[in-house]
Structure formats: structure tokens, C-alpha cells
Structure 1
Amino acid sequence: MFEVLLISESKGQHCNIAVHNATNGQNLSTFKGGTSQAGTLCAQSDQHILSSVPNKPIIQAYDLSRKSQVATKIPVPGAVSSLTVSHDGALLAAGIKNDILVWELLSGDLLGVLSMHYQKITTLDFSHDDSYLAAGGEDGIVSVWDMADVWDDAQDQVKPYHSWTCHITAVTKVKFGLRYRLYSSSSDRSIQCHDIPSGCHSIKTIVFENDVVSFCLNQTETFIYAGCSNGALVRYDLLQYSNESQPVHAGNDSPYRLSVKHAHSKKITCIVCSMDGSCIITGSEDQEVKFWDSLSLQYMKVIEVNGPLTNLLLLPAYNGFTDAAQATIMPLPKLNRQLKRVEDGDNGLKFFHTLPIGQ
């Protein structure tokens, strides 16, 4: 099975999301109508492609089928700055202002409103088994939430499992690695690695020469690839030994660093790694998507688009992308704006009541 690359850019002149064969760059299909907010393009398993409309309280959902190109508009309580779906497709998490709203996608029930940050949420990510949800914000805080607490209807106020004030400027991306390691990047020119079970503030800090806008890990977590604000692409070896209490510097003189200084002429806004780890794909404000060999960082090919890149997403080539037959798609429910809780009544029976949330 090959992979497909979903691309969105800020202008949306020809389409909202373009689908390309990640192997040869061939255009397979498009999803039309509007544009997608940066950091919100995600997939619900093999069912839907989701993103948010910039500066509007709307999530747009496309059936993962070549025959369906009209988005379903789903209203939410506010403009969404970050969006992600759990790996099993059961949960949807959205950053709205400084809160995180978590819905169950089967029923549309709002499971939790997670409050920890005091500035806008910029990035979200679920762990590989969906047991944790990580968030980063413009306040420089990285928070981790235990999803068992979010599912627990007895808790009215869910507290984060861990929270670190680890960056001095806005967090640009959080990404889970292996064994519950969490990586976070920031415009303070650093990437930090946290260990969730132990709650360590930082087990590794890598300092770069420029602001880190986006990054990705290869499948074995041996290399980290950073896209910088000056258009540089940097690969750093995560297996090299270092004193965990001291930051390591990924400068030009580092033997563990490989970089392409002018990978793009403008800021690299998004970066992804292929499932076999052989290819790195970068998107930039210079309106180009470039493919790189992961070991040598040799340039392979380019896809030109009509505006600054906002999202890149690599997915397996589900039947909806390649098969002309209509795929079986489950309809998405309306997302409730009120929080549901279960409590015990006087007679021992349980009943539901709703708690309104701020609009």
C-alpha cells in the first residue's frame, strides 16, 4: 500500500485540500471549498478528513471518497486554532482560545473542557495508544492530559497529568515519540523531550540556530528533523550521548547534525516523514512542497502550489482515495456545546445533566 500526501495552502484558489501520490507526486483528487487553518488538518481513520475554517467557529469535514467533495460544516463554540483526532477515530480534540474541547465522535457528546493555558492553544497530539493528549500554547506551557480522567464522568474539573513551563516563547508543535516520550518545539530555538511516566521536566534539550517552526521524527526515533524560520532543514541524531542536565547545541560545528541551509527560501511551516522513514517532506511559505532523502537530505522532487503552505498530512492510500466505488462512510454527528456528566441520584440511579460552557 502506498501513501498519499494531503496538502493545504492559505489561498485555496483551486481547492482546499489536494491529494497527491507520495511516491511519484501525481495528483489523485481534490477537496474543494474554502481554506484550512494551519495546524488543523487531520483524518478520522478511513472515514473523514477534517480541518477548521480560519477565524470562524466552523469545522469542515470531507467524506474520504473521491465522489464527495462538498464539506459538511460543523459549528463549534469558537474559532479553532488546533485540531486532532485520536488514532482509533473515537475522539476529536480542538483548541479554542486557551481551552481544549474533547468530543466523542460517535455520539457528538462533549466529554471535557480542559483548562490549563492562559493563551491560545497552538498544537495538539494524541499518544500512540490514545491514553494521553498533549497540548502546547502561546504561553510556552506544555500540558499532558490523561484521557482516562477525561472519560471519567465523575470528575467535573479535570486536572492535567503533567504540565511544564518549559519554553520562554510560544510552543509551535508537540509530538509523541516512542514509550510515552513527548517532544515540543518553540520559537525560542529549542526542542525539548519529556518523559511522561516519570514527569521529568526535560530529559533532553536541543538548541538550534534559528526558531523551530515544525519538526518530525522518523519511525524508530533515531533522528529528529526540524524546519526553521529561515528555511533551513536540520537533521539531528537522537542516539548521541549527552548529559541530560545540559542542553545540546545543533550548530554548524556539531558532528551529530546534518542540514540543508537553504532548503526553502522562506519559513518551513510543516514537515512530515514517510511511514518507512525513507523520505522527508517539507512545506514552506515559498509555495513549494519538497521531497528529501532522509539519510542524505538530498533533494528529490518538488510540488508547486498557489499559496503559502499551511498543512501537510501523510496517510495510507485508503480506498476512498483510489477506488472509484463509494466507500462506506459513517455520518458525523452534531457536536454538542454542553458538557455531559453522570451523577448518582437519591434512589441510586444515575442521570445526566448538562453544564453550559462559554461561547
Structure 2
Amino acid sequence: MSNLIEVAVTSDANGSLWSCCAWDPQAGTQLCTYKGGEATTPHGFSFINQEFIITANNSKPLLHIWPVNSQEQVPNLRFVVPGKVTALAISSDGVYCVAAVSEIIYIWKISSGDMLAMLSRHYQTVSSLAFTDDGSHFISAGQDGMMLVWKLSSILTATGYNNQETTPLYSFSDHTLSITDIFIGKGGMRALAASVSLDRTCRIYDLASGTILLNLVFPEALTSITIDNLDTKVYIGSIEGNIFEFNLQTPPRTREYHLNHETLTTKQRFIGHKGAVTTLSISLDGETLLSGGNDETVHFWHIPSKQIIRTIPHKGTITNAKFVLAPKAMFDQETKLHLIANNFKRMIDNQSLNTENFTVEILVSHPVDSSIEAEIVNETVGVAGDGVVTSKGREILNGTSGADLNEVEQLRAEVRRLKKINKDLFEHSVKSVFQNGK
């Protein structure tokens, strides 16, 4: 099993056998099951650093976490959230968890459990969340037909430190009905983003410019979407069970295409599902399409021939199904994986975020000037991120509660001592480099 490049991970709305399961796409056999988390919500599955699986409970305000090589959840850790999660995403570095509860989006730092932001820009339930592959931005889409592009750093700065109301980088309101699925390609903010909706349209956007590139109008309401790794072909699932293929390189190039059953030939369809197609994913080599539907089945398709290679029955509607690179630890049961995490907090602690005292560690290759020294003193006595002196710093500078300017002089003396240590370390390292060079 250790030679597998990819695995397929699926979940269904029943959850009686397992919350999610990893499959061998070549043989169709189970590799690992993850139990105890009940049914997983649609768009409620993700990985943390390719070492842990996290899912959202479909009926309770809980998130569940498993090591990839164990069917038992991480002990002594419960992620209780404000309500039932409707969509979930984890940043690529495994630091931040973004979850939607109805129309509100929450952001937590996994290691500390701190709630960093609450975003309330959607008018109806958020149905999908997805990060760019570099983790710098994420997209939210909802039943209000809106798709919002968020810059993570701006959110954390505005909401977490200055208490300003943050706004999305882009706001797309082109759909007239609920958005059912979104997809982001490779390349960070240079990637393509796509959305599908019950209004029968698929819209493709350029994230770099925030403009719409293509609008595809189909004869059926659309429920799922994926794009191959080369950004050349789009695969779209419908409420009627059809999967349509559209070639982005096929001329003529116009902004809008209206497709109907007559123009969509059998070479552009995957026919096999008996209900709505709820999820789609493409293998790394672009040869296999993975689909799940309301008919409680997962199909593996050979893309060039449009034929079903393998079918895996489930106990309920397929809520998640995707190809992922096989985690190294999945096939090593002896490896003990450790997650740095804390129970999620239920509200934002603005005072803690605004008046946090910073610990300064200095290692520079040049002398520290007076402006840097003043900045270090400010941070040491306690200055908030917006430049306001905290209560601790004010007490020291104003002489209240027994502190006076002697303490400030002591701090400056400590800074001078650290500067000397830093200078000595730098000179010693330079001498070592030259000596080794000889």
C-alpha cells in the first residue's frame, strides 16, 4: 500500500459504518476507516498538514479529528463550535480553521484555539468554503448566490487587532440562485476560480483581476464542479445525474455559452448516476474522475472513454469524495502523530488580542539604531498593535502603581545588554565562517 500515490476519501450522510473512509482507487478496497464522528456534512472534510483528518458533524456543533493512521479520534480534544457547521476549510499550512455556521464565518487558530474573526457578509447559509493553495486567501459561497473572496491577512489585522469591519477583496453576485459548489485551481491568486449554481450556470473567474472569464449556461441545475490540473477541462455535475465535460481550449472564444441537450454530445457526458451528482474530483494524472451522488454510490470513471471503472456503494447520500495525495503516515500504524491544538473558544477576546505584550527576540547583522531601540522599549512595556499604550505600559510610564522611570531605564539597560550580546554573537559567527573558509 505504501506505493500508492493517491487515495480516495469519501463520506456519506448515513455515518453508521464510519464518518469517512480512505480507499485504494486502483483496487477499490478500504485502506482506513475513521469512526466515532457520525455523519459528515457536505463540504465538511479537510486535512491538517496531511497528518490529521478533520470533519464537521452533520447534526451537532462539533468538529472531529483523527490521525491519518488511526480510526480513533484524537483523545482529550473537542472542537465545540457555535452551531452546526455548514462548510469547512483548513489553510494549507494547517494553522487556521475556517468554518461556516449558517451565514456567519468563523476563523480559529488551531494551535491556541483562539477565535480570531467572525465574518457576517452573507445573507443566507454559507454552503462552500475553499482556500487557495498558498493559504493566503479563501472563498466563501452561499445560498444567497454570492461568492466572496477574502484576504486572510487583512481579516486577521482588521478584525483581530483594530476592531474594524473587514470587507472582502472581491464580491461576486452573478448567480441568481444558491451556489452549490466552488473550485479553486493551482497558483494562489493567479488561479482560476469556478462556481456552479441551481440557476443552471457555471461561472469561471480570474482571481488575479477579479473578473469573470466565462459563463456556461446548461439545461439542468448544477450541483458540483471540478477542473483538471492543467485548467483545460471543466467537469460539472447536475441535479439530474449527468456529468458534463467542457473544454476551455475549444474555439470560438466567447464570454458566454448556452448549451442544451442537442449540442451536448455523448462525448461530453458521463452517464451513470441516478440522482444529483453531489461531489467531483480528478486524479493527479487527469485520467480518472471520482464522483458521488444522491444515489448512494461513488463512481470511478475513465475520462477518455467516459466509462465507469469501479463503483463503491455507500449507506447514504455521498457528502464528500475527493482524491488526495496519500499521506506518508497513513500506512505506518506505529508512527505517533502529535497535533498542537487547543479547544476552540466561543468568542473573540479583543482585549487579549489588542493588548498582548510582545516577546522580542533580536538577531541582526548590523548595529541597532535608536529608533529600533525605542520600538523595542515600547513593545516591552506593552504597546498594542494599533500604537496605543496598554494599561501595563501606561502604569510604567505614568508612575502609577509604584512604577517609575527607573523601570524604563532598566529596560533600556536590558536592551543595551542584548545589543552587546547580539554584536558579540555576530562577530563570533563571522570569525567562525572565515576560519572555516580557510
Cα shift at 1:83: 0.4
- Distance in structure 2 (CA, Å) of the matches to 1:52 and 1:216: 22
- The equivalent position to 2:181 in structure 1, one of 173, 178, 189, is 173
Instruction: Report the AA paired with residue 264 of structure 1.
Output: H
- The equivalent position to 2:198 in structure 1, one of 166, 187, 198, is 187
| Alignment-derived partner of residue 84 in structure 2 | 79
- The equivalent position to 1:275 in structure 2, one of 262, 271, 284, is 284
Alignment of 1:45-60 (within 5 A): 45-60=49-64
Cα shift at 1:167: 0.5
- Distance in structure 1 (CA, Å) of the matches to 2:320 and 2:292: 8
More off after superposition, 21-30 vs 119-128 = 21-30
Q: Is the 8 A contact 1:182 1:196 kept in 2?
A: yes
Q: Is the 8 A contact 2:35 2:72 kept in 1?
A: no
Alignment of 1:236-315 (within 5 A): 236-249=246-259, 251-254=261-264, 258-260=268-270, 262-315=271-324
Alignment of 1:13-52 (within 5 A): 13-33=16-36, 34-52=38-56
What is the aligned-residue RMSD (CA, Å)?
Answer: 2.3
- The equivalent position to 2:11 in structure 1, one of 8, 22, 33, is 8
More off after superposition, 107-116 vs 285-294 = 107-116
1:149 aligned to 2:159?
A: no
1:196 aligned to 2:204?
A: no
| Alignment-derived partner of residue 106 in structure 1 | 111
| Alignment-derived partner of residue 332 in structure 2 | 323
1:119 aligned to 2:112?
A: no
1:96 aligned to 2:116?
A: no
| Cα deviation code 1:71-94 (max 9, x no counterpart) | 753101111000011122111110
More off after superposition, 297-306 vs 335-344 = 335-344
Q: Greater strand share, 1 or 2? A: 1
Residue 67 and residue 125 in structure 1: after superposition, are their counterparts in 2 closer, same or farther (change >3 A)? Answer: closer
| Cα deviation code 1:14-62 (max 9, x no counterpart) | 2221221122211112111211111101111222211111232111111
Cα shift at 1:313: 2.8
Cα shift at 1:331: 4.1
- Distance in structure 2 (CA, Å) of the matches to 1:59 and 1:243: 44
Cα shift at 1:241: 3.4
Q: Is the 8 A contact 2:144 2:177 kept in 1?
A: yes
Q: Scaled by the length of structure 1, what TM-score is found? A: 0.90
Identity over aligned pairs, percent: 24
What's the secondary structure of 1:188's corresponding residue? coil
- Distance in structure 2 (CA, Å) of the matches to 1:251 and 1:8: 31
What's the secondary structure of 1:39's corresponding residue? strand
What's the secondary structure of 1:339's corresponding residue? coil
Residue 70 and residue 91 in structure 1: after superposition, are their counterparts in 2 closer, same or farther (change >3 A)? Answer: closer
Cα shift at 1:100: 1.0
Paired residues, number: 350
| Cα deviation code 1:262-310 (max 9, x no counterpart) | 3211111111111221110111111111111122222111111122211
Cα shift at 1:3: 1.2
| Alignment-derived partner of residue 143 in structure 2 | 138
- The equivalent position to 1:333 in structure 2, one of 339, 342, 355, is 342
- Distance in structure 1 (CA, Å) of the matches to 2:200 and 2:71: 44
- Distance in structure 2 (CA, Å) of the matches to 1:338 and 1:312: 32
Q: Is the 8 A contact 1:67 1:324 kept in 2?
A: no
Cα shift at 1:233: 1.3
Q: Is the 8 A contact 1:251 1:257 kept in 2?
A: no
| Alignment-derived partner of residue 350 in structure 1 | 383
Q: Greater helix share, 1 or 2? A: 2
What's the secondary structure of 2:58's corresponding residue? coil
- Which one scores higher on RCO, CA 8 angstroms, separation ≥ 6? 1
| Alignment-derived partner of residue 65 in structure 1 | 69
- The equivalent position to 2:167 in structure 1, one of 156, 159, 167, is 159
More off after superposition, 78-87 vs 45-54 = 45-54
- Distance in structure 2 (CA, Å) of the matches to 1:101 and 1:321: 30
Runs ≥4 residues deviating over 4 A: 69-72, 254-257
Cα shift at 1:204: 0.4
- Distance in structure 1 (CA, Å) of the matches to 2:226 and 2:325: 18
Cα shift at 1:98: 0.8
- Distance in structure 2 (CA, Å) of the matches to 1:255 and 1:265: 19
Q: Scaled by the length of structure 2, what TM-score is found? A: 0.75
Q: Is the 8 A contact 1:64 1:327 kept in 2?
A: no
Q: Is the 8 A contact 1:125 1:133 kept in 2?
A: yes
- Distance in structure 1 (CA, Å) of the matches to 2:171 and 2:260: 26
Residue 306 and residue 254 in structure 1: after superposition, are their counterparts in 2 closer, same or farther (change >3 A)? Answer: closer
- Distance in structure 1 (CA, Å) of the matches to 2:312 and 2:168: 41
Cα shift at 1:245: 3.8
More off after superposition, 60-69 vs 131-140 = 60-69
